[in-house]
Structure 1
Amino acid sequence: MTQGRSLRLFLVDGTPHGLLTAEIMNWTGHVLTGPRGKLSELVQRPECGRTGIYFLVGPDEENSLRPQVYIGESDDVGKRLKQHNRTEEQGGKDFWEKVCLVTSKDQNLTKAHVKYLESLLIQQAKALGRCTLTNGTNHEYINLPEADQADMAFFLEQIRTVLPVLGFEFLRDASRPRSRDTLTGSEGDAGSDASPIFRMEVPKYGITAHGQEVEGEFFVLEGSKARAEWSQASHSYKRLYEQLGEEAVLVDDGAGLLTFARDYAFSSPSAAAAIVVGRAANGRTAWKAEDSGQTYAEWQEQLVAEAAEASPEAL
């Protein structure tokens, strides 16, 4: 089972849409985020005078499924944010609506550290493809001692852990966290956090797809088939279907269907089923466990019932 972590959130002005700080126990990092409308208050915070990494986040007018993101670094983050708050004509950036900055509580982050972090973050954001980056060129920065690189690798993992909690999903990995053999439990009990393998079939189109739930996300597995075109006039998943084709997650198999070129995470089994069949679908009944024949809904109900029986209150 994945080890739990303690995350401390603080609403600076007592409102859910104002400034927010976040810290992870035993991590020297400190995260501060807020809307652009609160920038005048944010830049007065002591964190803004430190060396750190920052993210400017806003909507992408050309792709409603992705945010637009700029990743930067500075030894005086507040000064840089003031510059970014100018209009485009004045050298600023108009697109962003939220800002998130990461500094260090012990103030041991140096200019070299944040340049290295910025380079890694830009590389990962590009590789994951969950946002539209507005950064121009990315200069790979490797001029850092080996020990410091290891420290920054740990620092980076903490950033990727805390950002999704704050609503920033663009650094969240969409690939499964373990190998297929491990996930299905063939290596000891390492697969205890994973569901059985589910199968979905659409005989009319010759479609067979496999999926698995891991750590709260439903993954359609590499090699699964999907319908070659979206058949419903308008639906919220239509744009996602098109995007997966644009990103080469879904590729032509040469036989009239599409194939998942890699494992891909969906928010629910119904979202996964819709992409497979090319229209809205109830994934809770469409996916069936290969070993027992249970639907996803039946499997989940069984888990809940077993957990209730095993709880101390049930004894």
Structure 2
Amino acid sequence: MTQGRSIRLFLVDGTPNGLLTAEIMNWTGHVLTGPRSKLAELVQRPECARTGVYFLVGPDPDDSLRTRVYIGESDDVAQRLKTHNRPEDAGGKDFWERVCLVTSKDQNLTKAHVKYLESKLIGIAASAGRCVLSNGTAHEYVGLPESDRADMAFFLDQIRTVLPVLGFEFLRELSKPPAPVIAESVPIIERSPRFRLDIPKFGVTAYAQEIGGEFFVLKGSRTRKQWIGVDGGYQGLFQQLEADGVLIADGDEHLAFKDDYAFASPSAAAAVVSGRSANGRVVWSVDGTGQTYAAWQDQQLSALQPAPEDA
């Protein structure tokens, strides 16, 4: 079982949409994030005068369903952010709506450290494939001694832990569905069976599995050739997956998943497979039993033992 961790969040101005700081126990790192509308306040914070790495995050101008990210580093992040706030034709960046800055509480991060972190972070974000990167290709930075590289590996792990808690998912790797679990010692609630969705009339069959809070449609699963439902809803997601090559042609009548793909919900997955809106809790069923996803989930809840009442 993975060890639990504590993350300390602080709302600087007492509102959920303002500046926010985050720290992890026994980590020297410090995270500061906020909306672009609060930039004047953010750059006055002492963290912005330190050496650090930062992320500019916003919708991709070419596809609003996707997130665009720029990853940078500086000895004086405040000045760099002021430059990025200029219009595009003046050397700035227009797309970003939020900024996230990572520095060190003990101020031991050097220019070499943050250049190394920037290089690694760009590579991680590109590999994860959850965003459109404005940086282009990452250049491997090898100007650190071995001991410092080990320290920065730990620092990277903490960044990848805390950023998703703040709503930044672009560094999080897609977990792959595990091989089927046979050992009876593993509690059933920790296992997900394989789910199946059939549309016999149109020759559509898809398989899925739930892991880590995400609903994966498995490689090779078939979908309809095109979206046939009403405009809106998951239509944009269907078209995006086709444009990105996640869905590829499978004969004349179908598309198929090129690889396992994670969805936020069973209904999002069902809509893409069906080419129209669908209730994923009903149309997905346990392969081999026909039990719906909703019934399977209810069964897991029913199997839980009630917590003992305090004496």
Q: TM-score, normalised by structure 2?
A: 0.92
Shift of 1:137: 5.0
- Give the gaps of 5 or more residues in structure 1: none
Equivalence for 2:178: 180
Residues 250 and 261, structure 1, Cα contact 8 Å, conserved in 2: yes
Decide which of 202, 215, 218 is 1:218's aligned counterpart: 215
User: Is contact 2:196-2:284 (8 Å) kept?
Assistant: yes
Larger mean CA deviation between 262-271 and 117-126 belongs to: 117-126
Give the distance between the partners of 2:106 and 2:35, measured in 1 at CA: 26
TM-fit CA distance, 1:23:
1.1
Query: What do residues 178-202 of structure 1 show as CA deviations (whole Å, max 9, x unaligned)?
Result: x522xx3236639863311111111
Displacement after TM superposition at 1:314 (Å):
11
State the aligned residue count. Answer: 310
Match of residue 164 from structure 1: 164
Q: In structure 2, do the counterparts of structure 1 residues 31 and 198 end up closer, same or farther at CA, with 3 Å as the change threshold?
A: same
* CA drift at 1:275: 0.8
Q: Residues 288 and 156 (structure 1 numbering): CA distance in 2 closer, same or farther, change over 3 Å? A: same
CA gap of 1:228–1:147, structure 2 versus 1, over 3 A, is farther
Match of 1:312 in 2: 308
**Secondary structure of the residue that 2:140 maps to in structure 1?**
coil
Residue aligning to 2:237: 240
Partner of residue 62, structure 1: 62
Does the 8 Å contact 1:196/1:291 carry over to 2? no
**Contact 2:175 2:211 (8 Å CA) reproduced:** no
Q: Which amino acid aligns with 2:140?
A: E
Partner of 1:142: 142
**In the alignment, structure 1 residue 271 sits paired with structure 2 residue 260:** no
Call closer, same or farther: CA 1:191–1:102 in 2, change over 3 Å. Answer: farther
Amino acid aligned to 2:214: E
SS at match of 1:196: coil
Shift of 1:47: 1.0
Q: Give the % identical residues.
A: 65
Matches of 1:304 and 1:192, distance apart in 2: 9
Q: CA deviation at 1:80?
A: 1.1
Q: Post-superposition shift, 1:225? A: 1.4
Tell me the distance in 2 between the aligned counterparts of 1:280 and 1:186: 35
Aligned equivalent of 1:200, options 197, 200, 203: 197
Q: How has the CA–CA distance of structure 1 residues 63 and 15 changed in structure 2, closer, same or farther, with 3 Å as cutoff?
A: same
- Distance across 1 between alignment mates of 2:238 and 2:73: 35
AA aligned opposite 1:90? A
Q: Does residue 1:6 correspond to 2:15, yes or no?
A: no
Tell me which moved more, 87-96 or 229-238. 87-96
Contact 1:33 1:98 (8 Å CA) reproduced: yes
Corresponding residue to 1:286 among 283, 286, 293: 283
User: In the TM superposition, what is the alpha-carbon distance from 1:271 to its structure 2 partner?
Assistant: 0.6
CA contact (8 A) 1:51 1:110 kept: yes
Find 1:254's aligned residue among 251, 254, 263.
251
CA gap of 1:297–1:313, structure 2 versus 1, over 3 A, is farther
> 1:120 and 1:137 mapped to 2: Cα distance?
11
Q: Name the amino acid aligned to 2:307.
A: S
Please state how far the C-alpha of 1:40 moved relative to its aligned partner: 1.7
Distance change in 2, residues 1:261/1:314 (3 Å): farther
Kept in 1, the 8 Å contact 2:119–2:141? The answer is: yes
Contact 1:235 1:280 in 2 (8 A): no
Q: Which residue of 2 aligns with 1:15?
A: 15
SS in 2 for 1:80: helix
* Greater Cα shift, 97-106 or 291-300: 291-300
TM-score between both structures, scaled by the size of structure 1: 0.91
Work out whether residues 61 and 95 of structure 2, in 8 Å CA contact, stay in contact via their aligned partners in 1.
no
1:93-130 alpha-carbon deviations (Å, 9 max, x no partner) = 22222110011122222211211111121122223332
* Alignment partners' CA distance in 2, 1:283 and 1:2: 29
Asked if 2 retains the 8 angstrom alpha-carbon contact of 1:194 and 1:215, the reply is: no
Amino acid in structure 1 at the alignment position of 2:112: A
- Aligned residues of 2:49 and 2:76 also touching (Cα < 8 A): yes
Partners of 1:67 and 1:131 within 8 A in 2 = yes
Q: Say if 1:199 and 1:210, in contact at 8 Å, map to a contact too.
A: yes
Kindly state the Cα deviation for residue 301 of structure 1 after the two structures are TM-superposed.
1.0
* 2:35 aligned partner: 35
2: distance between equivalents of 1:280 and 1:60?
25
Distance 1:262 1:314, change over 3 A: farther
Q: Residue type matched to 1:312 in 2?
A: P
